[in-house]
Structure 1
Amino acid sequence: MMPSITRRQLLQATWVGITGWALGTQYVVEPMAGPLVSPASRMFVHLSDFHWGYRGDYNRQPADTLERAWALIKGLTPPPAFVVVTGDLIQATDSATERLARLQAVKAMLDRLGLPYYTVPGEHDCYGDRGQSYRAVFGESHWIRTVAGFTLIGLDNVSQGPFIGSTQRQWLKAQLATRVPGRAVVLSHAPLYDVFLPWNWYTYDGAQVYQALTGIKEALFLYGHVHQAMTATRFERPNWAGLPLSWPYPEPGLMESLAGWPQGATHPDMGLGFNVVRWSDSGPMRVLRMGLAASREANR
């Protein structure tokens, strides 16, 4: 089983990538000097949990956080082929007008990256209207695309509740029946496996998604929601959580409270960052975690 990397370990890391073989069990720590990939390789970026519109001590500088993340992404060498975002683009609000405005603001920010991007909703994006505003801005909440040789599969396991549901599962089965993807990336907001039920970190019927992809040679599952570095292997498939661009959550435990840590004045970016997935035609996908805190230190 792939070992877990906890938030505590992430916060102790310096400017390195915590790298895992997507189809193996080995982690490698690599310095991040120079290009992230060889000329024969390519990459895409995995973002998650912006919570745009939040105001409070968990993140006192949300615009600055995203601006510096955007600068890092634009500085990657070679440029990413595309970007994926695993939900909670905005902070939930009771106001339908404000909800729509926040989603539109995030879309404008993603447009500024100048890269193709693909999103799935988080529960904050669907709060109050079961994803109606999200779909008005970003399109369908579940979809399948062929991009850069990948089959990208976006799933919605939040808008109706913590499940995929029979209609969406039947849709996925029908889509896969007409495709023979050699390499797939599956996106969801909440993990498709059980992480911690008291905090709603699970998907009721997630196991059926893994089973639907048994014929695919290589599949990587990316999710958000947990706001920390987390990995697992389920049904012999790697699962990677995206680092948040809002605030970190504690490691799950019955004695812990589900609340973010107040942003510190001296280390405002601890626990924040994003994933970079790199690949080549001849090798498996690899995932690197890139932290904003260390990038700030490196640029001082």
Structure 2
Amino acid sequence: MTAPGDPQGMSRRQLLRHTAWFGAAVVLTVSGGEVISHVAGDAPAAAADPTALRFVQISDSHLGFTGPANTAVEASFTEAIDLINGLPERPAFVMHTGDLTHLATPAQFDQVKQMMSGLRTGRVLTVPGEHDSVDDSGQKYRAAFGAGTRGDGWYSFDLAGVHFIALVNTLSLEKLGHLGTDQIDFVRQDVAGLSADTPIVVFSHIPLFAMYPAWGWGTDDAAQVLALLRRFASVTCLNGHVHQLFTKTEGNVTFHSATTTAYPLPHPGDGPAPAPVTLSAGKLREALGIREVGYVRGRQPLALRDRSLA
């Protein structure tokens, strides 16, 4: 069994202790500068506050995928967009945490861009997945979605008292994700002037913790970025890549992996590799979905709810 602090990651038993699998809702509560998470059926009452900052995370649409696990990824992505557009409150922004496309072709980037233009939101943001940079280190991705970003596509912004950081850890892949010194230096400079009580939200495609390194589900130099965020009372990291809900807390950092709009992947250790899982039509829609987040500065909980397409 792997030790809890082992950089090689957790054992399957430890993974299961930290996991919220398909269909669960994860609620985050901000209290005294800390983020406290628990699994619950309903978001807290603060989620209904009309003054709340609301945003949505969507991930792993894989437009262009063909296979029995989902023969119509465009249709399920459309359902996800419709679900977002049908939310009671319009989100301030929608963040897509990567693998927008399956093969990074210009036609696939154009298709996903056109589809996301129908989102009823103030802003659509993205980070790339490894499928978005399969043959050119992300050049076509940046041509489509890189406006206003720095380096290989990273950036940050502030909204309603929260500092958001969008990272790129899919371009220098050996097996694990990788950030690189330029991006780590960007984070160091980016947070240097922030107060320690500033809530931090970090977006990336590949997890920033060693979820399951045997499958490449981790980032080899993430510890350097997390060390820069250690002084902050509340840090929330939201990622895609693993196509399933997963929650883990380490000190001041809570990690939440999102589900997909395309197809599920096996739970860590179920099989030799993370190949697409084929489910019945009804079960597939239960495994696909979006993530809704609500936050009221200083007085109400930050609520995170995962909604399935079913």
TM bin (shorter chain): 0.7 to 0.9
Q: Do 1:88 and 1:225's aligned partners in 2 also have CA atoms closer than 8 Å?
A: yes
Deviations 1:6-56 (A, max 9, x none): 43xx25x6xxx4434361143322289x99523343321011100011111
Q: 1:249 aligns with which of 255, 265, 278?
A: 265
- 2:220 maps to what in 1? 204
Relative to the length of structure 1, the TM-score reads: 0.86
Q: 2:54 aligns with which of 43, 46, 49?
A: 43
Distance 1:264 1:209, change over 3 A: same
The alpha carbon displacement at 1:149 in A equals 3.3
What letter is aligned with 1:225?
Answer: H
- 1:296 maps to what in 2? none
Unaligned runs of 5+ in 1: 94-98, 294-300
User: SS of the residue aligned with 2:84?
Assistant: helix
State the alpha-carbon separation in 2 of the partners of residues 271 and 37 from structure 1. Answer: 25
User: Is 1:216 aligned to residue 232 of structure 2?
Assistant: yes
- 1:70 maps to what in 2? 81
The alpha carbon displacement at 1:4 in A equals 2.6
Q: Do 1:269 and 1:292's aligned partners in 2 also have CA atoms closer than 8 Å?
A: yes
Distance 1:27 1:266, change over 3 A: closer
- 2:126 maps to what in 1? 119
State the alpha-carbon separation in 2 of the partners of residues 262 and 143 from structure 1. Answer: 36
User: SS of the residue aligned with 2:287?
Assistant: coil
State the alpha-carbon separation in 2 of the partners of residues 176 and 213 from structure 1. Answer: 8
Q: Do 1:150 and 1:183's aligned partners in 2 also have CA atoms closer than 8 Å?
A: yes
Q: Do 2:157 and 2:163's aligned partners in 1 also have CA atoms closer than 8 Å?
A: yes
Q: 1:61 aligns with which of 67, 72, 82?
A: 72
State the alpha-carbon separation in 2 of the partners of residues 26 and 263 from structure 1. Answer: 28
User: SS of the residue aligned with 2:36?
Assistant: coil
User: Is 1:173 aligned to residue 181 of structure 2?
Assistant: no
Distance 1:30 1:126, change over 3 A: same
Unaligned runs of 5+ in 2: 1-13
What letter is aligned with 2:88?
Answer: T
State the alpha-carbon separation in 2 of the partners of residues 237 and 31 from structure 1. Answer: 20
Q: 1:149 aligns with which of 161, 182, 190?
A: 161
Equivalent residue pairs, number: 281
Deviations 1:210-263 (A, max 9, x none): 111123332210000100010111242111111101111111016453211124
**Identity across aligned pairs (percent)?**
30
Q: Do 1:36 and 1:76's aligned partners in 2 also have CA atoms closer than 8 Å?
A: no
State the alpha-carbon separation in 1 of the partners of residues 46 and 180 from structure 2. Answer: 42
Q: Do 2:237 and 2:256's aligned partners in 1 also have CA atoms closer than 8 Å?
A: yes
User: Is 1:163 aligned to residue 193 of structure 2?
Assistant: no
Q: Do 1:35 and 1:78's aligned partners in 2 also have CA atoms closer than 8 Å?
A: no
State the alpha-carbon separation in 1 of the partners of residues 309 and 47 from structure 2. Answer: 16
State the alpha-carbon separation in 1 of the partners of residues 111 and 159 from structure 2. Answer: 25
Structure 1 stretch displaced more, 117-126 or 23-32: 23-32
User: SS of the residue aligned with 2:54?
Assistant: strand
Q: CA RMSD in A?
A: 2.5
Q: 2:29 aligns with which of 21, 31, 45?
A: 21
Q: Do 1:44 and 1:278's aligned partners in 2 also have CA atoms closer than 8 Å?
A: yes
Structure 1 stretch displaced more, 234-243 or 258-267: 258-267
What letter is aligned with 1:279?
Answer: Y
State the alpha-carbon separation in 2 of the partners of residues 251 and 221 from structure 1. Answer: 20
